[in-house]
Chain A
Amino acid sequence: MEISGAQALLESLKHEGVDVIFGYPGGVVLPLYDAMYSYKDVKHILVRHEQGAAHAADGYARATGKVGVCLATSGPGATNLITGIATAYMDSIPMVAITGQVATPLLGRDSFQEADLTGITMPITKHNYLVKKTEDLPRIIKEAFYIARTGRPGPVLIDIPKDVFVNKIQYKYPDKVDLESYKPTYEGHPKQITMAIKAIQTGQKAVIYAGGGVIASDAAKELIELAEKCHIPVTTTMMGIGGFPGTHELCLGMLGMHGTAYANYAVTECDLLIAIGARFDDRVTGHIARFAPKAKIIHIDIDPAEIGKNVRVDVPIVGDVKMVLRAILAKLPAKEKNQAWLDQISEWKNKFPLSYRRDGGLKPQFIIEELYALTKDRETIIVTEVGQHQMWAGMFYKYDKPRNWISSGGLGTMGYGLPAANGAQFGRPNALVIDIAGDGSIQMNIQELTTAVNNRLPIKIFVLDNCFLGMVRQWQELIYDRHYSHTQLCNNPDLVKIAEAYGAVGLRVTKEEEVRPAMEKAFAINDRPVLVDFITAKEENVFPFVPPGQAINEMIID
C-alpha cells in the first residue's frame, strides 16, 4: 500500500497503541493535520500552547505508564515544547515528541520557522532523530517508542521535515527493533545479588530509600514484600511517592530538604541504606559527605551511570528494579525484627511528627488534610505545580498506590500541573484528578483551562492562594533577611472570574468551615473543570526544612 509520510506516521502511532496525542498545528505540519482530518484511530487533542501539549503527554504517561505523545510545528512551536521535554527527561518519563521541520531543501538556510531541534534537544532527550527520507519514518518511529519506554525511560524527539510528510512510500511497520548499540541490562548480576542479601542479613539498622524507579518498573509489590519480610522502614523521594503505601506502618514519608524529621534521622543513623531506583539528588542528600554517614549502601538502578555518580556505594546492582528485587526476595531468608531500631524510629515519629499550627488564617496543610479525608477511598490522582503547595501535597496527603501522585521533581517546572492533570484525566477517565496549585504556578499555563473545558474534563484545580511565590518567599524569609524581592503577587487577577471566563466553574474559600462544602461541590460537577481559589495564610512555611548546604539531620523543624 502506497501512502504519504503523514499517513505512515498515523498508522505507526496506531501500531504503537497510541490512543491520544496532544498537539498544536502550524505551517509545516499542515500535511499531517490534513491526513488527520479523515483519520479516526488516533485522537488528537488541541491544546492552547505547545508547552501544554508536552506536559499533557507527560501527565498521561505518568498516570498510565504508557508512552505519552505530543506534536508541534517547526520553529517556535517546537521550541515551546522544550520545557516539557526537559521536565520529562529529568523525571525519566517515557514520551515521544514529534516536531515538524522545514522541508529538506530548506534545511540549514535560516528558513521561515526553522530551528535546529535535534541540536537544541540533544541534552534533554534520551535520543532524537531528524528524518531525512520518508522510507526511514516507520523504522524511526518504532525505535523511538522502544527507546522511550525501555531501560531508563525518557523522552525521544522525532523531527520531520515537511516533504517527508508529503512523499509517498510503500508502508510496512517493522516487527522488531534492531539496535546493536542499545541493550539495557535488566537482570542484576548474581554475585551482586548475593552480596546484597548478605548485607541485608547483617544490617542491624536498615532503611530503604526508594525513588521513581520503583514506579517506572512497577515494583511496588516487591518493595512492600522486601520491607515486610525484613522489617525495614521505607523512605521515598518525591518521585517515589506512592511506590510504598503512605499509610503503611513502615513508611517514613519523604526524605531530604522537606523530608520528615524521622526519615532524615533514620537515614543519618542507619547502618544499611538500600537505595532502589533513586539517584542521590542534592535535594535528597543535603550536604553529600554527611549523608548516611554510618551506612553501607546498596544501590539498585537500571542506569549504570547513576551508580557512583554522587556517592560511593558498597553494593552496586545494575538492573530493572522489579527483576532485581524478585531475585533478592527469592533467596533472602525472612529476618528477625530489630525491635530496638523500630522503637527508635517510633520515638522519632512521636517526637517530631509532621505538624502545623491551626491559628492565623486558613492553613494550606489543613486544606490538604481535608482533601485526603474526603478522597482517600476513591481513585484519586493528585497532580501538582511546583512550590510550597507541592510539598504540602506530598507531605499531608497519603498515597497508597503508584501513579496517583504526579509532580515535576527533577526540573521543578512551574506550570506543569494543569496541563499534566488534563493528560492524566485523558489517560484515566474514571479517576478523580486534582491539580493542587499555587497562585504563581497556575498562571503559567492557565490557557490550558480551555483544553479542559472543550473536552469536558472534570478536573479540579485547587489553588492554595497566598499572594506570594511562596517557596521563594520562604527562602527570602529564612536566608535573605526577609527581603521579599519580587515575590509578592499582589496584583493577581481574580481567579474565580478567570475560571468563569474560560467556561469552568470558579469557587472561593476563605474559612476553614467552607473547605469541605466547596470540595464536595467541586466533586459533584462532572462535565467541566472546577477551580477553587483557597485564600490561605500568607506567610506559612514548609517545615521541616534543611537549609541548603546542611546535612539532612540539621533541619529547621518548625
Chain B
Amino acid sequence: MRHIISVVVENKPGVLTRVAGLFARRGFNIESLAVGTTETPDISRMTIVAEGDEQDLEQIIKQLYKLIDTLKVFDLPADKAIERELVLIKVAASDKTRQEINQIVDIFRGKIVDVAETSMTIEIVGDENKVQGAEKLLAKFGIRELVRTGVIGLLRGSSE
C-alpha cells in the first residue's frame, strides 16, 4: 500500500542522509521524497512516499522517531490530506499539434511555460492521478523530458 509520510526535522546538515539511509537500511523503498524549510526556518519538512503494509508503516514511523533530529512524524491518509505534485513535461510539438496540446493542458489546468520551434514545456500541478492522467494524454506527442518534484502534502484543516 502507498503511504505519504510527513517527517518534521531540525534543519541541519546531514539530516536528509539520516532519513534516507534509514529507509534503505530497513528495506523500505522510497518512491518520492521532497524536502524544504517550513514556516520556521530552522525546521524542515520532508514528504516521503513509500510502499508498505500497516506494520511496515508503523515500524518506519517509530524508527524515524528514534533519529535525534526528528521532531514529528505522521502518516498522511489520502482521505484526510491534500496532496500535490508539480511536474514539468517537455513534449515534441509542431504547428500541427500545438493546438491539441494546448487543449489538453487547459483541461488539466496546466500552464505552458516554454515554447520552442519543436517543443513545448508544460507545468502541471495536482495529485498523483491528475499528473498521471496528463502524462498519459501527452505521451502520444512524444515526451522528450519529464521531471517531477515529488509529492508534498498537508493534513486538511478539518482533520488536524
Contact = CB atoms under 8 A, between A and B. Distances in A.
Interface of A: 118-119, 122-123, 126-127, 130, 147, 179-182, 303-305, 307-309
A181 B55 contact: no
The prevalent SS among residues of B at the interface is helix
B107 interface: no
Given A122-B21, A123-B21, 5 more contacts: A119-B17, A123-B25, A130-B13, A307-B62, A308-B59
Contacts of B58: 308
Contact of A181 (B14, B59, B62, B70): B70
B96 interface: no
A179 B69 CA distance: 9
B116 interface: no
Contacts of A182: 68
B140 interface: no
B136 interface: no
A379 B146 CA distance: 70
Contacts of B55: 308
A118 B59 contact: no
Contacts of B14: 118, 130
Contacts of A122: 17-18, 21
B154 interface: no
B10 interface: yes
A181 B69 contact: yes
B86 interface: no
A127 B69 CA distance: 9
Interface of B: 9-10, 13-14, 17-18, 21, 25, 55, 58-59, 62-63, 65-71
Given A179-B68, A304-B65, A309 B18 contact: no
A119 B62 CA distance: 22
28 contacts: A118-B14, A119-B17, A122-B17, A122-B18, A122-B21, A123-B21, A123-B25, A126-B68, A127-B68, A130-B13, A130-B14, A147-B68, A179-B68, A180-B10, A180-B71, A181-B9, A181-B10, A181-B71, A303-B66, A304-B62, A304-B65, A305-B59, A305-B63, A305-B65, A307-B62, A308-B55, A308-B58, A309-B59
A147 B58 CA distance: 24
A184 to B, nearest CB: 10
A10 B140 CA distance: 68
Contacts of B13: 130
A152 to B, nearest CB: 8
B66 A305 contact: yes
A119 B17 CA distance: 8
A261 B65 CA distance: 38
- Most-contacted residue by chain A among B18, B55, B62, B71 (CB, 10 A): B62
Contacts of A127: 67-68
Nearest to A147: B68
B119 to A, nearest CB: 38
Contacts of A123: 21, 25
B68 A305 contact: no
Contacts of A147: 68
B63 to A, nearest CB: 5
Most buried by B among A130, A147, A304: A304
Which are the 9 A-B pairs with shortest beta-carbon distances?
A305-B62, A127-B68, A181-B71, A182-B68, A304-B62, A305-B63, A123-B25, A122-B21, A305-B66
Nearest to B71: A181
A118 B15 CA distance: 11
A308 B65 CA distance: 15
A181 B21 CA distance: 19
A495 to B, nearest CB: 39
Nearest to A182: B68
Contacts of A309: 59
A503 to B, nearest CB: 44
Contacts of B65: 304-305
A126 B70 CA distance: 13
A466 B63 CA distance: 42
Contacts of A180: 10, 71
A304 B60 CA distance: 11
A305 B59 CA distance: 6
Contacts of B9: 181
Contacts of B17: 119, 122
Nearest to A152: B66
A396 to B, nearest CB: 37
A119 B9 CA distance: 18
A443 to B, nearest CB: 32
B68 A181 contact: yes
Contacts of A303: 66
